Amino acid sequence: MKKFTVGLMLLLSTLAVNASTDAEREAIAKRIAPVGQVYVAGAAPAAATTASGPRSGQQVYQAACFACHGTGALDAPKPGDAAAWEPRIAQGFDVMLKHSIDGFNNMPAMGTCASCSEDEIAAAIRFMTDGA
């Protein structure tokens, strides 16, 4: 019985090795292919968005700022949190904009949005401070 089990396992492992032949590799390549296509398809609208003018403050916020400002990560002030925004607004919009462009403590330069224009950053700040 034990010999039979060992023999069966050997047979199975041989089959497993045989499975990773050219045919199997081709099948894997075919299964991976649609992922590449989805990626390309997903990249197209982004390019179109860039070409069709500046993104709205809300779009920039959701794409780049939400990771910290939406969750309060690293103590980033959340949109609508008037108490958190008040002293920042008090220093003037230009200071907030400069801090967003250059970076400020744990606030990264351009809020990690490397493709953003300064106008788009300003729009995102307006979006976040609107309710504050």
Q: Does 24 bind ligand HEC (CB under 6 A)?
A: no
CB nearer ligand HEC, residue 41 or residue 93:
93
In Å, how far are 10, 31, 63, 89 from 58, measured between CA atoms?
A: 60, 36, 8, 19
**Residue 124, token pair as written in the block:** 């995102």
Q: Which residues contact 89 (CB under 8 A, 6 or more apart)?
A: 96, 129, 132
Among 58, 59, 62, 67, binds ligand HEC (CB under 6 A): 67
CA nearest neighbour of 61 among 45, 74, 78: 78
Least distance (Å) between residue 65 CB and ligand HEC: 3
Q: Does 69 bind ligand HEC (CB under 6 A)?
A: yes
Interface with ligand HEC: number of residues (CB under 6 A): 27
Among 62, 103, 104, 109, binds ligand HEC (CB under 6 A): 104
Q: Which residues contact 120 (CB under 8 A, 6 or more apart)?
A: 54, 55, 57, 60, 113
CB nearer ligand HEC, residue 24 or residue 122:
122
Q: Does 83 bind ligand HEC (CB under 6 A)?
A: no
**Residue 6, token pair as written in the block:** 């060992």
State the maximum Cα–Cα separation within the chain, in Å, rounded to a whole number: 83
Chain residues that interact with ligand HEC, rule: CB under 6 A? 60, 64-65, 67-69, 74-77, 88, 95-96, 99-100, 104-108, 111-113, 116, 121, 124-125
